[in-house]
Each structure stands twice: as structure tokens, then as C-alpha cells.
Copies of this chain bind each other. A is one copy, B any other.
Amino acid sequence: MHKLLFSLLSIVSLFFHGGEARQLEVPLPNACHFSQINSLGPAHAIKFEAGQMEVWDHTSPELRCAGVTVARITLQANSIFLPSFFSSPALAYVVQGEGVMGTIASGCPETYEEIGGGDSGRRFEDMHQKLENFRRGDVFALVAGVSQWWYNRGNSDVVIVIVLDVTNRENQLDQVPRMFQIAGSRTQEEEQPLTWPTGNNAFSGFDPNIIAEAFKIDIETAKELQNQKDNRGNIVRAKGPLHFVISPPRQRQQDHGNVNGIEETYCTARIHENIDDPERSDFFSTRAGRISTLNSHNLPVLRSVRLNAVRGVLYSGGMVLPQWTANANTVLYATGGQARIQVVDDNGQSVFNEQVTQGQLLVVPQGFAVVKTAGETGFEWISFRTNDNAYMNTLSGETSYLRAVPLDVIKAAYVVTEEDANRIKFSQQETMLAMTQASSS
């Protein structure tokens, strides 16, 4: 239906404003009727000096239903993803690589750092806000309107997948994804993408005189802040390797926290956790695989972000028992291997039954039942869910729906004998992960 309305409005759009550059943004709510769900790859790549940003099509039915938008950024060695922020809360997952990440919130305490050398050779103190090392497996909570920058200090690419919850209450703009750059510039690509990110940095929109006044610098330096002659985009090569001192922040002298409205606890709050470590798994099977959950119980900042994440690993022949998420949409990103995934909608119709391989994205709407079976090389994935305490119900196994129902109900429901009802109810003794028979035999 939304496709229909889309077609209609596209036609109307052409008629009234045929030459308009801006993409038509039809304000549809989550429309979650599917005859088929498609797994999705990125729709567009924006090349920067030292990396790229790939964005998924946020107007696809699947992402519209889930109310989210997805991007993947790739930083080459010794490059910086320049400071920028989103109007939506988001989760970022480090798919590969390692580096340093800085988050910027006015009013949070600063760290002093002794610096030697530089262009001038003299020694002096720098100061900046807390930095954090990042590595593969880290999930970062990105608060709406708070900037980050990322530096790749390793020798190989850093790859980060970011899911923005555009329908979150904290995004008070429309449901179009927006990246606000405060450094960086527009690239020189011939064909500008219809969607985000296309921008120049915030300074470029101000009068240089105003910038000079605001910073107490001369006009020429003010113009540098605008990156007007710059076409490197938002990922640039550093004169590196850069070394940052990751030290605990000093006590802040002035308490701007309450005044400024930032959550008192934000400045000192943990904003990331690594969920790749097998020892932190919530479900673990030596043969089948493991599942690790990050929610507001173990990362409290997620309470305000209203998102959570699940990291999963399946070995060859392993399966995740059929289940549904009660109170959230799920965006699954395959980080390795492949799996056959089946998804069933509210009418009992199969809406997805395909292989999902590394780099692909699959949306599983709230309530839709899903089962995953690993391929020969196993399967690894990260799932982002649109609730800070998303709640899973399993259809089979130890804590499943069928365990919860009396035998007499099962017999009446499925027209089976007591023996069959017993088998249905108790044969599968695993909780969440199991081996397929085929692979066991």
C-alpha cells in the first residue's frame, strides 16, 4: 500500500515539481504488510578521501516497517571519521578493526594531556573529552545530537555498522535520516546521492565574520573551519600515526550538567561494551554456538537510547530455535558465514526463506516468527532491536511457548494424541540453540 501511495505521490510530485532535487519524503508510518521480505544490501556508497560511507535505502518497505535506517562506514588505516552527529539515537557495532573513539558533550569534564613535538616542536598541554579504545565486537550507544569521531589506528580497515532509530521519540525531526557534520565537507562526486549524507559542515553555513567573532580568530582561519576548498568528505587521512592518551577524566570544576539538561550520569556513563567475548554469552552450546545480549540491564545508557543488541554465533549444523520478539523490530546484520533464515508473518505465511550471507541485512518485524540454521561454514551476526529490553519468546525448547501450555491444550490445539503432545512438549531440551539432526547424523 505504501508503494501505491508512493507511486501516486511520485507522479503528483513530477507533475507539480518535476525538477525538484530533494527526494520525495512521504510521511508513512510503519507499514508492515509484506508478501515478501527482502534481505538488503547498501543502496549507495559515498566515497571519502580515506574511506566510504554506505547507506541503506531508508525508504525500503522493510526499513520503513522497522522505523530504522542503516549505514556502514569503512575507515582506511590511519584515517579519521570526522566529528558528526545524528538527530536519532543509534547503536554502532564494530565489525572489524580497532582504534580510538571520542564522544563530545558540552559540559562533560575534560582530560589534560601533555603533548610534545607537533609542527612547532614545543611542549604544551592539550585538553579534550574522554576517549575510548574500540575494537571488533564493541557496541556503542550513540545519543541523539551528541557527536562522535572515530580514528583507525590499526593497519587494516575499520568497519562499523550503525543503526539509527528514526522513529525514536528522541528524534524530533521527520523520519529522514540526517547526519550533521561539524567538520568535513561535501565530496566532489558528480552525482550527489538523493539521500544522506550530502552535507557541508555546520560552519560553512555561517557568515565567516560571525565565526571569527565566536572563536576570536581572524577571518582566514574562520574560513578554514568552513572547509570550503576541501573535498575530502567526512573520512580523512591523518598525519599519523596519532597517539592519544586514554586517561580517566579529571573532576569537572563547574557543574553545567543540570543547567544544560544533559543527564547527570551521561558524562561518566559507560557507553559501550564488547559482546564478542564467549564468556559473557547468555546462551552457550559447545556444539551449536552462542548468543550474547546487550540491554539496559547491563548497559544502562540504553534505557534512554531505547535500543538493544544481540550478538550470535552458530557453528556448522547449529540452529537458533524458532522464536519471535514480543516488543521490538529486529534488524539483523550478517557479519560472517551464511545461514538459511525463515520468517513467518501474522497470517502464518512464509515471507522470507533464503540464505543470508555476510554483509546482508534482514529486517524481522515484531511478532514475526524466525528460525536460523547455519550453513557449512557457520554463521555470525549482530541483531539490533528497537527496544531497550526486547523480549524473546521461543516456540520450541526448554523455556518455550509449548512448555508453558498444559498437555490438554496441546492435544486440543493440534489434534494429537497424548504421546505426540508429550513429544512435542518435551523432546527438545535445549533452550535457544540446538543442533540439527541432519548434521548430528
A74, chain B: closest CB distance, angstroms: 17
Q: How far is the CA of A326 from the CA of B84 in the complex (A)?
A: 12
Q: Which of A388-421 contact B (CB under 8 A)?
A: 389-397, 399-420
* In the complex, residue of chain B having the shortest beta-carbon distance to the beta carbon of A171: B366
A9, chain B: closest CB distance, angstroms: 7
Interface residues on A, range: 35 or more
- Residue-wise, chain A 125-150 has the 8 Å CB interface mask toward B (1 for contact) of 01111010000000000011111010
Q: How far is the CA of A315 from the CA of B337 in the complex (A)?
A: 64
Contact A423 B327 (CB under 8 A): no
Contact B295 A403 (CB under 8 A): no
Taking A32-B174, A145-B393 as contacts, is the C-beta distance between A293 and B261 under 8 angstroms? Answer: yes
> Which B residues are CB-close (under 8 A) to A65?
173-174
Interface stretch, picked from A40-48, A102-110, A154-162, A271-279, is: A102-110
* In the complex, residue of chain B having the shortest beta-carbon distance to the beta carbon of A244: B406
A400, chain B: closest CB distance, angstroms: 6
Contact A434 B27 (CB under 8 A): no
Q: Which of A252-272 contact B (CB under 8 A)?
A: 256, 258-263
Contact B367 A213 (CB under 8 A): no
Contact B392 A436 (CB under 8 A): no
> Which B residues are CB-close (under 8 A) to A325?
145
Contact of A104 among B169, B244, B404, B418 (CB under 8 A): B404
Contact A5 B9 (CB under 8 A): yes
